[in-house]
Amino acid sequence: MKRKMISAILCCSMAAGMLAGCGSSSAAPAASNAGSETSEASEASQAAPAASEATQDFSGEELSILVSQDWMNDCWDDVIAEFEDTYDVTVDLQTIPADQYDDTLQTKLTTDSCTDIFWIQSNPFAISSVIVDPEKYCIDMTGEAWESVIPEARLSSCTYNDKLYGLQLWTNSPEYVLVYNKTLFGELGLEAPKTYAELKAACEKISAQGITPWFIAGSEGWVQALAFFQIGGVYEEAQPGLYEALNNNTATFADNEKMLEVLNQFKELSDAGYFGADWIGATNANLDNDFADRKIAMAMANPGEISAIKEAGAEDEFGICLIPLGDNDTYPTNPAGPTMFGYNGSEHPELVKEFFRFCTTTESLQSILDKHTNWTNIAVNDENVEQHWLPQEEELISAIDTAKQQTPVLQTGTKYTNDSWGKFCEDMIAYCQGSMEANDVLKNMDSNRAESAKVAADENWK
Amino acid sequence: MNKKKVYPYWFLIIPLILYGVFFLLPSILGIFYSFTDWNARSMGEVSFVGLQNYIEIFTSDKNYLSGIGHTLMFTIVSNIVKLVPALFLAIMLQEGLKGKNFYRTILYLPSILPFVIIGITFKSVLNYDNGLLNGFLDMVHLGFLKQKWLSDLNVVWGSVIGVDAWRGIGYVMTIFVAGLGAIPKTYYEAAQIDGASFWQRLKSITLPMLTGSIMINLVFGITYGLKVFDIIYVLTNGGPGHATEVVTTYSYQLYADGAYGMSTAFNTVLLILTAIAGIFVVKMMSKKEVQQ
């Protein structure tokens, strides 16, 4: 009896499932028809017709996005919400901690289980080395109208073999410079440090006040390497032709005197406790408040951090200066940044393309910029977007000789360097804790680059 | 016995096929690939490179050997730290303690928590500046005991093993409790009449009679220790620097880097270590059982 009951229930559920399937397929055209009607209505009311049609086309779909912690923050919320409303879809934002992101992405790509959209820290060399096989993994966006929105200098980080794959929406500010408390510096009779000696002296004076001179959040897994890579121009100046030689595999990081000098200086500051009592275990979670409360005096950040500090209640004035390790006086030119790509294995390729289009409308770009607490501008070719450059940025840029602004930062100007960012951060910590030598940190970088080159089948490493 | 109720041998075919296809075959393929240069760019074209991957593991400047050393250390220490307290907790809860089922539940609960939750919680608890633990030490005027729990080279392993023990003790204890329940009470009563102390009873009755439970816990503990990944990944991700890297974290990183050949070589090393340890423990414990 029981068996019969179970069989009957199963049969009913199967029949119901089949009917449900038929129902949805027959309902789809009706929805499409309704869509065209809505579209016509939208046109009449001067709303975006394409979006209205798409609303019906994509209704009920889910768009998944894999992104590292700090690349798609709250400033995207409104754009995503608007996209969800417009197209009647759901966006599943999968935010991964920065120190785990690269591993997670690579695992998802190689196991063909990636999200509809994924991000990478792109530069002119990154697409082939990080994604490895863009034609296999990325949706070809060639011919999309938004290509013209991306500035020429940044296009090389979005294209591969003349095909457009990525969309890079990032800031053009002097990236990751030293933000410092100008008022505090003034009270202590200090100027913004221009050399390592000045930096060390300032740290000593600030530390005596019980304030962390130069806060570094080591546990984030990416911050400390900025101190080394953002001053790439100083290495090129010390050894002209270094970038080219590194890209041709005729030079190494190991034994580079200027790099060793910078690492030694970094460790000296770490040993003196100038980065904080436990910088290796620290996070950026309270950065704005700590600045506002005068717990810290300097940190590597974007100029927009000044607005965030002000919003946290700071009464002090803040300025920006170059990272003076290695007596650096070169500008951190960096036409690269986090970039999003459509995953070729996505079940919703058209929705992915629609998302990219949606993100590049003037309204979306303006929303991203306005909501971003750390950005003062967004690097796009759209005159209708209102930029908010800070006077501090304009002051810094105008004070630096044009010749000192030509060399890009190390991770953008040299191949495979950025791929080992996380590992370099780990090695820097190991070096500061005394379990590695400075030159071994550099040797590891050479070895990591060689491995990336091997995977990318680079002729120069054969 | 009704012979119709006994399952015929051919019932094993399906599980054996599943086991072979989804476990045995990938393992054998993994060993094969560990002798190749298979990577993200090879697109199916792999070349045989002999022992090159293994030579790299044992001679590289990257100190992969320390990862193997850390794995072995974790396996030994974490088992001691879990087994000994778990045994005493189990004995304590086996005695006539009031509300023992409540305590058993409380002790078992951490082992059902996902590693990610444990990682996030303990990262916060162990934070040097704002963490609960250091805050508590400050509050009770024991500030001198404050540590950089997850960033000091001398303390980090203690923290990882401590959190792992917090999670795992309840599980180990449950197996001991089951084993203790199977020991006849009359043995203890006879020993007590003879005037045997707690330690004498433990040595002469409890431990010999618990051999089965100890073996199960040891085999589980050793295999868990050798393939430990989650707890380290969520707490330190192998850091600070490379201080808590283990075989699996290196293997994971290499796989993520597209160096599949090297990654499978690491897994093969792990397989060999696990097999050696497993055989050793089972043989040792079977000998004891025979002697008894």
Beta-carbon separation of A440 and B61 below 8 A: yes
Residue A299 has a pLDDT of 97
Nearest residue on chain B to A100, alpha-carbon basis: B237
DSSP secondary structure string for all residues of A83-150: HHHHHT-EEEEEEE-HHHHHHHHHHHHHTT---SEEEEEE-TTHIIIIIS-HHHHB---TT-GGGGGS
Nearest residue on chain B to A458, alpha-carbon basis: B41
Nearest residue on chain A to B147, alpha-carbon basis: A278
B33: in domain: no
B30: in domain: no
Sequence spans of domains, chain A:
59-174+335-384, 177-330+397-461
Specify the residue for token string 């990610």.
B116
Beta-carbon separation of B255 and A452 below 8 A: no
Nearest residue on chain B to A131, alpha-carbon basis: B40
**Segments forming the whole domain that contains residue B265:** 51-291
The residues pairing with A298 across neighbouring beta strands, listed in sequence order, are: A180, A214
Helix (H) / strand (E) element for A62: namely: strand A62-68
Q: Does domain A177-330+397-461 have CATH number 3.40.190.10?
A: yes
Residue B278 has a pLDDT of 82
CB A418 within 8 A of CB A411: yes
Q: Write down the pTM of the prediction.
A: 0.78
- A95, amino acid identity: T
A440 interaction partners in chain B (CB closer than 8 Å): 61
Name which of B127, B147, B233, B264 to mutate to probe chain A: the one with the most chain A Cβ atoms within 10 A of its Cβ.
B127
Of B40, B240, B243, Cβ closest to residue A132: B40
B172: in domain: yes
B125 interaction partners in chain A (CB closer than 8 Å): none
Split into its structural domains, chain B has a count of 1
Beta-carbon separation of B258 and A278 below 8 A: no
Compute the distance between CA of residue B225 and CA of residue B243 in angstroms, rounded to an integer.
17
Phi and psi torsions of A299, nearest 5°: -160, 150
Of B41, B150, B151, Cβ closest to residue A455: B41
Q: Which segments of chain A have a pLDDT < 70?
A: 1-56
Non-local CB neighbours of A157 within 8 Å, separated by 6+ positions: A122, A123, A124, A126, A127, A166, A168, A335, A336, A337, A339
Give how far Cα A390 sits from Cα of A173, A320, A366, Å: 9, 10, 17
B52 interaction partners in chain A (CB closer than 8 Å): none
Compute the distance between CA of residue A130 and CA of residue A126 in angstroms, rounded to an integer.
5
User: What is the CATH topology of the domain spanning A59-174+335-384?
Assistant: D-Maltodextrin-Binding Protein; domain 2 (3.40.190)
**Tokens for A233?**
């121009």
Report the gap between the CA of A99 and the closest CA in chain B (Å). Answer: 8
B18: in domain: no
B260 interaction partners in chain A (CB closer than 8 Å): 110
B40 interaction partners in chain A (CB closer than 8 Å): 106, 110, 132-133, 455
b/e burial code for range B236-267 (CB count within 10 A of at least 16 → b): bbbbbbbbbbbbbbbbbbbbbbbbbbbbbbbb
Q: Which segments of chain B have a pLDDT < 50?
A: none
Of B39, B151, B241, Cβ closest to residue A436: B241
Residue A36 has a pLDDT of 36
Whichever domain contains B192, its CATH number is: 1.10.3720.10
Q: Summarize pLDDT for A299-320 with one digit per residue, the tens.
A: 999 898 998 999 999 999 999 9
CB A229 within 8 A of CB A312: no
